Amino acid sequence: MPALITWWKLDLAELAPGAHHDAVLAIGTDLMRRWTEPHRGYHGTRHLVEVFWALEELEEGQEITAREGALGRLAGWFHDAVYDPSAPGGSNEVDSADLALRDLQALRLDADDIETVRDLVLATSTHDLRAGGLAAAFHDADLWILGAPAERYAEYTGQVRTEYAAVPDDAFRAGRAAILRPFLDRESIYATQTARDRWEGAARANLLREFEVLAAP
């Protein structure tokens, strides 16, 4: 998707103006290769674009600055860059964070920005509510899909099932319910006021509908 690579180049031009053009292109190409791996159902480029759109909406809602939005997009590129559905819990996030550290150092990104990206990537393993700023916005952008229109949400659940096709139905239903229940049990699914205002109601409706499907015989 040429638009994604353009986004990548523009964000690196702002955040790492000293990065060598060849390194920017090589790392961007590698990331695109990763995001288009054939085993990905949901965790592909459409998810990445949706994260970017959600960050833009949160920027428009004044939850983050334009620079934080660019940094959030870098975290978006790396947060599922390593994705193996059969991997132990948390290992994809650790490996993705390690990749971010290696690649962003090669691009000569500021050390504090690298640490921010690394922390954002690692936080996606738990989706704990974050308090304010980019951490809260990135949490919400990654979970935008929960508040997506009902048709898109149904498509998403099918894509997730495809990624876990090797898992028997009963085990998948139990595992999926265990992942989703904590979101419904929270006082709020989202961390920012903008996301709560715009996506919270739809997210709760989507999750409740999915629970009905998971509980069906």
Sign of the alpha-carbon torsion through 153, 83, 96, 99? negative
Average model confidence (pLDDT) for the chain? 96
For 129-184, the pLDDT digits (tens) are: 888 899 999 999 999 999 999 999 999 999 999 999 999 999 999 999 999 999 99
| Domains defined along the chain, listed by start | 2-215 (1.10.1300.10)
State residue 1's pLDDT score: 58
State residue 216's pLDDT score: 82
Give every residue of the chain whose pLDDT is below 50, as ranges: none
Cα distances from 149 to residues 57, 204, 205, 206, in angstroms, run 16, 12, 10, 8
Contacts of 13 (CB under 8 A, 6+ apart): none
Q: What is the pTM of this model?
A: 0.96
* Residue bearing tokens 């149904």: 154
- Considering all CA atoms of the chain, what is the largest pairwise distance in Å, rounded to the nearest integer? 58
State residue 56's pLDDT score: 98
Q: Token pair for residue 164?
A: 């876990």
* Residue bearing tokens 């085993």: 39
Query: For the purposes of burial, counting CB atoms within 10 Å of the CB of 85, is it exposed (0-12), middle (13-18) or buried (19 or more)?
Result: middle
State residue 3's pLDDT score: 86
Contact 4/49 with Cβ under 8 angstroms?
yes
Q: What number of CA atoms fall less than 13 Å from residue 107's CA on the CB side?
A: 28
State residue 97's pLDDT score: 98
**Length of the chain, please?**
217
